[in-house]
Structure 1
Amino acid sequence: MNNKTILEKANAAVSEGDHETFLSYCTDNTKWTFVGDRVISGKEKIRQYMADAYKKPPKFDVDYIIAEADYVTAVGTISLFEDDNQWVDYYYCDVWRFENGKMAELRAFVIEK
């Protein structure tokens, strides 16, 4: 599988609430940087984040995906079910770095719509 397909399959899994399949596409030491917010490192910390942030599976609306070398960038909107029991829409740009066919690092730019 190429990196773009891996990201598409991983995002499809998280959209179905299947965090473990999503995580199977990540390296053990995967690192997520939410620019201007926080950095999360390691699969276990990502697992905990997903359990908290994705109480209901997120809804993705991907505008486009660009792949080059070890990087894949996805741009679109994501809807998250928030603590006040409402869906909130965000614009996002995710830049993924891959290592040996796995998602190793994310730099996410997320802004509420």
Structure 2
Amino acid sequence: MIVTACRENLNDISRNKKTVLDYMDGFNAGDHQKILSCLTDDVVWEMPGVYYHSGKVAFDKEIENDAFEGKPTIKVIRMVEELDIVIAEGTVQGKRKGGGAFNAFFCDVFHMNNGKIKKLSSYLMFSRP
């Protein structure tokens, strides 16, 4: 569920921010097609020091990471936009395979191109149980 503050004025929201919200909604729904529709064909997704994926096929494989099960619950707390960069902060909760929940905070930097995500740099910090 997306924090309603981010959805309050959809008429006033930029195309780039709307794409980021649609992308997050796709993750919450487990909707691969919705997620992939927000991306350029040559998209790059990196978590510095953890992984680097290039292209929609690689991106799609990471959507449902083998280390986790079910759909995550992502809440966007704040978004900031400057030119073709959107930064989203929020929380994510999910379940690890074999049991155990996780709670994390994220800061995602979206590089946009014509209203689509061209590059995503994800920074994640897990909170203590």
Report the TM-score, using the length of structure 1 for normalisation.
0.92
Match for residue 64 of structure 2 among 35, 43, 51 = 51
1:25 to partner: Cα distance: 0.7
RMSD after superposition: 1.4
Quote the offset at 1:47 in angstroms: 0.7
Show CA shifts across 1:56-95 (max 9, x none).
Answer: 1111122201111101000111112211222201111000
Distance in 1, Cα, partners of 2:49 & 2:116: 25
Is 1:23 matched up with 2:36?
Answer: yes
Give the Cα separation in 1 of the matches to 2:106 and 2:40.
22
Equivalent position to 1:76, from 82, 87, 90: 90
Unaligned runs of 5+ in 1: none
Q: Radius of gyration: which is bigger?
A: 2
Q: 2:104 aligns with which of 70, 74, 90?
A: 90
What is aligned with 1:107?
A: 121
Instruction: State the shift of 1:16 in Å.
Output: 0.6
Per the normalisation by structure 2, the TM-score is 0.81
Question: For residue 110 of structure 1, what is the amino acid of its counterpart?
Answer: L
The SS at the match of 1:58 is strand
> 1:86 and 1:23 mapped to 2: Cα distance?
28
How many residues align structurally?
A: 113
Q: Which runs of 5 or more structure 2 residues have no equivalent in the other structure?
A: 1-13
